[in-house]
Amino acid sequence: MDSFPDMPTPTPSVAVLFDQFADGVYTLGYRILGDRHLAEDVVQETFIKVIRSLGTYLGEGSIAAWLYRIGYREAIAATRKRRETPLDPDEMLEAGDRPVTSVEDAVLAAELTRRLDAAVARLAEPLRSAFVLRDIEQLSTNDVARVLDISTSAVKMRLARARQALRVELNEYLQ
Amino acid sequence: MTMTCDQLETLLPEFFDGSLNVGQETAAADHLATCTDCRTIVSELEGVSSLSLTHGRLVLPEASRNRIRAALGLNPPPSDAPT
């Protein structure tokens, strides 16, 4: 028997966490704020807080939920700081914002990506965050509940509504 | 146990989470075997999840990644270039 259930899981270094979660926090920040520069600020502020508070992480819940919760709060705080402007679904991201694909794949995916961006941007914010964390970042339902500080039932309700809205918006691509 | 369309719809989050109990899982499978409308809905919702996973994630641009790493005092990542 090699497992030691009473041993705390070693806390990874900030550099390891940055490599693992920077893209995810950037994705969450962009999906909430609709602005890549503000999303980059969210990444930086999130990891400043991670550096300051990593020692207080007690291993309760996953470290992903702990870290995304900091990122989520930073993104929501940023929405309150800036003048309220609706997301622009047609805002184009730079090529560097997407995973690298072949030229052919990139061309074929461009329209679909644009439509997905627009559809996600049109979701009401509470639905959007739950959807991004669960279906894009692949957190567990329990972890999404921890990040958003809501019940798992509320997460499931938001997910169902978000997925249904996207099913309608993206219907022509789902046949 | 039979399941209605409304009952399946209510359980869709658990269906996609894979957290239905055995009885619910069997009833859902039986319902989907006979209900074309629900099969279509489930298939399209699976499509939404699949598209979101493949097209929804962004990558922090390299220049921004390096700038933020430097601002945080983190060492640069190891280079892939031969030395």
Please tell me which residue of chain B has the smallest CA distance to A29: B58
Mean pLDDT value across chain A: 84
For residue B52, which residues of chain A lie inside 8 Å, CB to CB? 116, 120, 131, 135-136, 166
pLDDT range class, residue A96, cuts 50, 70, 90: low
The tens digit of pLDDT for each residue in A142-169 reads: 999 999 999 999 999 999 999 999 999 9
Q: Average pLDDT in the A20-34 region?
A: 95
Interface confidence, given as ipTM, is 0.83
CA distance A43 to chain B (A): 8
- pLDDT in the model for residue B64: 96
- pLDDT in the model for residue B1: 63
Q: Report domain extents, chain A.
A: 14-88+97-173
pLDDT range class, residue A3, cuts 50, 70, 90: very low
> Which among A48, A113, A160 is the nearest to B55, CB-wise?
A113
The tens digit of pLDDT for each residue in A131-148 reads: 999 999 999 999 999 999
- pLDDT in the model for residue B82: 53
CATH class of A14-88+97-173: mainly alpha
The tens digit of pLDDT for each residue in A53-84 reads: 888 887 778 999 999 999 999 999 998 887 55
- pLDDT in the model for residue A172: 84
CA atoms within 13 A on the CB side of B6: 0
CA distance A150 to chain B (A): 16
Contacts of A141 (CB under 8 A, 6+ apart): A134, A152, A155, A156, A159, B13, B17, B19
For the record, the structure tokens of A29 come out as 């920040």
Residue A95 is classified by DSSP as: G
Please tell me which residue of chain B has the smallest CA distance to A27: B58
User: Which percentage of chain A shows pLDDT scores above 90?
Assistant: 62
Chain A (61-90) residues lying within 8 Å, Cβ to Cβ, of chain B: none
For residue A122, give the H/E element and its range. helix A103-122
Say whether B52 and A136 touch across the interface (CB within 8 A): yes
Say whether A135 and B62 touch across the interface (CB within 8 A): no
- Per-residue pLDDT of chain B (83 residues), as tens digits, is 689 999 999 999 899 888 899 999 999 999 999 999 999 999 999 999 988 988 899 999 999 999 999 999 987 666 654 54
CA distance B2 to chain A (A): 22
Phi, psi at B12, each rounded to 5°: -60, -40
- pLDDT in the model for residue A102: 66
Tally helices (H) and strands (E) across chain B.
Answer: 5, 0
The tens digit of pLDDT for each residue in A99-123 reads: 656 665 665 678 888 889 999 999 9
- pLDDT in the model for residue B17: 86
Residue A154 forms contact with B (CB below 8 Å): no
- pLDDT in the model for residue A54: 86
- pLDDT in the model for residue A1: 41
Size of interface A-B (CB pairs under 8 A): 108
pLDDT over 80 (residue A26): yes
